Amino acid sequence: MSAWQILLIIVAALIALGLFELWVRWRITRTVAKLVIRAKERESNPPAKLDPESRHMVRLTDSAVIHEKPGGEAEQVEWSDLNKVEVLTTDGGPFAPDAFWILHGTNTGCVIPQGATGDAELLKRLQALPGFSNEAFIDAMSSTSNRRILCWEKKPGA
């Protein structure tokens, strides 16, 4: 191989590396631009909240579930007093609230519409209850009729 051939190979390799680097930079720039566009779209089109359900607030503490209704009234049930969790479904949706958590305590309780602000955290906390039935919850979420579905009940002596 002559010196000229070696020089041509080196020049070709440098050109190829330069073109590859340009292509990589173009791909990175294009990907970042797409991500920025998607983020701006999400900001201008936030996920829809259910109304009037989202006006209800659910607060969880270490000791209780507190449901604050839009008018300012509040109801709560202590975790230690919680005996049963049901989901009430109705045939009124989607034009009216159609799924509700019913939390039963001995002397207290809450009826919380699904879609209330904070209900995702409530679901996580309820799913952590020993013996909570995710199958019953899934059944409730697929119901379009008037039903009460038991998702959890405290074991006697627990």
The answer to whether position 158 is within a domain reads no
The answer to whether position 63 is within a domain reads yes
First to last CA, the chain: 87
Statement to judge: residues 101 and 140 lie in one domain: yes
Q: Is 13 exposed, middle or buried (0-12, 13-18, 19+ CB in 10 A)?
A: exposed
State pTM to two decimals.
Answer: 0.68
The answer to whether position 59 is within a domain reads yes
Looking at the chain, the whole-number percentage of residues with pLDDT higher than 90 is: 50
Confirm if 72 and 83 have CB atoms less than 8 A apart.
no
Using only the alpha carbons of the chain, give its radius of gyration.
28
Span of 1-10, 43-52, 81-90 with lowest mean pLDDT: 43-52
The count of C-alpha atoms lying within 13 angstroms of the C-alpha of 136, restricted to the half-sphere facing its C-beta, is 17
Confidence of residue 48 (pLDDT cuts 50, 70, 90): low
- The predicted-structure confidence for 54-111, as pLDDT tens digits, reads as follows 899 999 999 999 999 999 999 999 999 999 999 999 988 777 788 999 999 998 999 9
How many distinct structural domains can be found in the chain? 2
The answer to whether position 71 is within a domain reads yes
Strands 82-89 and 99-105: antiparallel
Residues of the domain holding 58:
53-153
Statement to judge: residues 57 and 131 lie in one domain: yes
Statement to judge: residues 25 and 69 lie in one domain: no
